[in-house]
Structure 1
Amino acid sequence: MSPISLIIAIPDRSLRRRLAQEVGGSPQIEVIAETHDLMTTYAEVEEREPMAVLISGQLARQPEFEVMRALFATLDVRWLVITERPDTGARAPDSPWGRSSDLFAVDTGAPASLLIETLRSLTRTARRPDRSSAPATGTRPPAQPRSNAPSLGHSNRFILIGASTGGVDALLTVLSAFPADCPPTFIVQHTGGGFGESLTRLLDRQCAAEVRPARDGDRIGHGQIAIAAGSRAHMRLAGGKPMRIVLEAGAPISGHMPSVDAMFHSAVPGAQRAVAALLTGMGRDGAEGLKALRDAGAATIAQDKATSTVYGMPRAAMQLDAAQISLPLQKIGPAILHACAKDDTGTGKRVATK
């Protein structure tokens, strides 16, 4: 049986080296890399595709870890958290392993024998000869194969999506429903600086359409998805066919840079062709912009409370009557496509929930 390939991601050098020596001394474990921060860890996981990652709770509690966790699920990588805090099972923002079945925590003082046995139990059946057929371990379903998504034809619509906390999994779920020739799509996702490119690569890996980072002056047409994440500029739409992106530096809007509100408000002139969705996230960013879009004739959707990791942004949108309909996450992608397939332009009227 081949040894378990392992990456150890711990900022504390002495603890990292000790664990590497103790765990790596077992013939059942092969330590293939040691890292001290999330950016380096992401790059190593993406390149080496280990069977497991041993990571510190300090790194796993960082908001940028959401992108890392989605990559782990995509690659079927198991991970084990070294933490001083017990696993309470609570849906607390700073305890991601307490609310997800693919995350596992052990105490900092756990002996090497326990770590090795836990790694063996987690990875014994995780890897198969053809990993592409293995189900993802996260809360979202695997993305549809690129060739299986139905074609919409060239709709006159365009799509706007805003998300924050919990948005990486949510975007993977929504975009998995999109065909390769989907309408032009523009996304703002709140994430830490430096993780925008990683998130873009992750989404492009899983989506039928092309996912690219938002760049100033780019024109986005059918089959293309532009995402602004982790940048120091707001993404605004400047119209045209294909639609043009303008990146605008300045102060945060609604507390964020880039801001969902900035993108939504910029699309108001073309609202009757817009389909906009506001997904899980903390705060209010996007709620007022969604309201402006609805008032101008756009089709608008908010994620429901039950499927939101944090019901902040969608709640604010519903309180403003900005969304025509509130939907569970799994239904949002198909609902967006259904709205895009309609011949009529938006009316701003409330859609009955089924």
Structure 2
Amino acid sequence: MNPISLVIAIPDRSVRRRLTEELGASPWIEIVAETRDLMTTYAEVEEREPMAVVIAGRLARAPEFEVMRALFATLDVRWLVITEVPDASARDQGSPWGRTSDLFPIDTDIPADRLVETLRSVTRTARRHGVSPVPPRTETPPTSRPTPPSNVVPDRAKTNRFIVIGASTGGVDALLTVLSSFPADCPPTFIVQHTGGGFGDSLTRLLDRQCAARVRPAAEGATASHGDILLAAGSRAHMRLAGGSPLRIVLEPGQPITGHMPSVDALFHSAVPGARRAVAALLTGMGRDGAEGLRALRDAGAVTMAQDEATSIVYGMPRAAMELGAAQSSLPLQQIGPAILRACAAPPQASPSQRMTTR
């Protein structure tokens, strides 16, 4: 019998020790580490590659956790999230779980024997016998980037369009889906993803490995041409477009906007001067960051879209955009990447004033 290797990640020392003693007494469980914060948990999971992690709900709700999960996806780790109220709705505003295959809510007072049975039922048999169901992570050589999809815009069809995207809760998986449809020579793309500090660089590397285009962290004065994607995540400054050819960004320290740093609204508002060339998308996320900026872009002539409710992990930001009339379309996640590329291939829209004078 091969026991299930387990990490217990709980800030409360008494709760952590109780679970360690109760679960450690089971012949089915091998406790390989105890942690009390996300950074230590990240290090232990990376080193020990456990089959499962029992994690406190408040750690799982931190923005960094979503990035951590994505980074360890190939390890097939199961995350059992302790919550006082087991989640009954995938759209609950405080819930990081509900629509994923690796997150499982458990009651805070679950008996040890039931928790062991849950662990036995949700961990993969292949992992128990030491066979990884997914190949280990490797860096993708520059010469073997993912094959561009069939909807690549030919060089001769390139326009001066650019793309701006905002995302929050559920955004890591959403971005992986959207960007996987982008060709290696996609229009210049600028993204704000809400996440905590410490994981921005890891998220950038994850997206870069999975995308045909080049994903780089946002840096002061950086420029983006075709094939470049600049990502602001976990930084203490807002990313704003500063114009130029190629397009240049500035990083602006200051106070959070709509509760976030960096802010999607800050990025979207900075794109308004070039709105006729812009294609903007607002993806899954809690709150309303990005909704006002998306409305400003639409009013100035940009192509705007939002993720639909059915495919959003949290339908907060997209809902706010739809209620404001900021998005011209509400689309399922799988359709957003292709829709962005189609919009980029079309001629820029006329400004509102130009449309009025041509009647």
Letter of the 1:243 counterpart: L
Q: What SS class does the counterpart of residue 132 from structure 1 fall into?
A: coil
Residues of 1 paired with 2:184 and 2:192: CA distance?
Answer: 20
Deviates more, 1:179-188 or 1:125-134: 125-134
- Corresponding residue for 1:152? 153
Instruction: Structure 2: state its 5+ residue gaps.
Output: 137-144, 353-359
Residues of 2 paired with 1:17 and 1:217: CA distance?
Answer: 49
Residues of 2 paired with 1:86 and 1:271: CA distance?
Answer: 44
Residues of 1 paired with 2:167 and 2:85: CA distance?
Answer: 29
Selected match of 2:349 from 339, 343, 346? 346
Question: TM-score, normalization: structure 2?
Answer: 0.81
**Is the aligned partner of 1:281 residue 2:282?**
no
CA RMSD of aligned residues (A): 2.9
- Corresponding residue for 2:140? none
- Corresponding residue for 2:241? 237
Deviates more, 1:27-36 or 1:51-60: 27-36
Query: Are 2:99 and 2:313, in contact at CA under 8 Å, matched by a contact in 1?
Result: no
**Is the aligned partner of 1:195 residue 2:196?**
no
* Deviation string, structure 1 residues 248-294 (Cα, Å, up to 9, x no partner): 11222333221212111222233232211112233332223223323
Question: TM-score, normalization: structure 1?
Answer: 0.83
- State how 1:304-315 maps to structure 2 within 5 Å: 304-315=308-319
Query: Are 2:148 and 2:182, in contact at CA under 8 Å, matched by a contact in 1?
Result: no
Letter of the 2:317 counterpart: M
Aligned in 2, Cα 1:192/1:90: closer, same or farther, shift over 3 Å? Answer: same
**Is the aligned partner of 1:248 residue 2:252?**
yes
- State how 1:1-354 maps to structure 2 within 5 Å: 2-26=2-26, 28-89=28-89, 91-98=91-98, 100-125=100-125, 127=127, 129=131, 131-132=133-134, 146-147=146-147, 149-150=149-150, 151-154=152-155, 155-156=158-159, 157-342=161-346, 344-347=347-350
Deviates more, 1:121-130 or 1:260-269: 121-130
Residues of 2 paired with 1:238 and 1:297: CA distance?
Answer: 18
Deviation, structure 1 residue 69: 3.7
Residues of 2 paired with 1:107 and 1:337: CA distance?
Answer: 44
Deviates more, 1:79-88 or 1:294-303: 79-88
* Number of residue equivalences: 338
Letter of the 2:325 counterpart: D
* Deviation string, structure 1 residues 189-210 (Cα, Å, up to 9, x no partner): 2223333233323333433333
Q: What SS class does the counterpart of residue 32 from structure 1 fall into?
A: strand
Letter of the 2:61 counterpart: R
Residues of 2 paired with 1:266 and 1:221: CA distance?
Answer: 18
Query: Are 1:149 and 1:208, in contact at CA under 8 Å, matched by a contact in 2?
Result: no
Aligned in 2, Cα 1:103/1:310: closer, same or farther, shift over 3 Å? Answer: closer
Aligned in 2, Cα 1:225/1:40: closer, same or farther, shift over 3 Å? Answer: farther
Query: Are 1:149 and 1:180, in contact at CA under 8 Å, matched by a contact in 2?
Result: no
Residues of 2 paired with 1:113 and 1:212: CA distance?
Answer: 46
Query: Are 1:274 and 1:346, in contact at CA under 8 Å, matched by a contact in 2?
Result: no
* Deviation string, structure 1 residues 310-338 (Cα, Å, up to 9, x no partner): 33332333344332222121110110111
Q: What SS class does the counterpart of residue 226 from structure 1 fall into?
A: strand
Deviation, structure 1 residue 90: 6.0
Query: Are 2:96 and 2:169, in contact at CA under 8 Å, matched by a contact in 1?
Result: no
Q: What SS class does the counterpart of residue 185 from structure 2 fall into?
A: coil
Deviation, structure 1 residue 53: 1.1
Deviates more, 1:329-338 or 1:192-201: 192-201
Letter of the 2:348 counterpart: T
Deviation, structure 1 residue 115: 2.9
Query: Are 1:7 and 1:53, in contact at CA under 8 Å, matched by a contact in 2?
Result: yes
Deviation, structure 1 residue 98: 4.7
Deviation, structure 1 residue 148: 5.1
Q: What SS class does the counterpart of residue 147 from structure 1 fall into?
A: coil
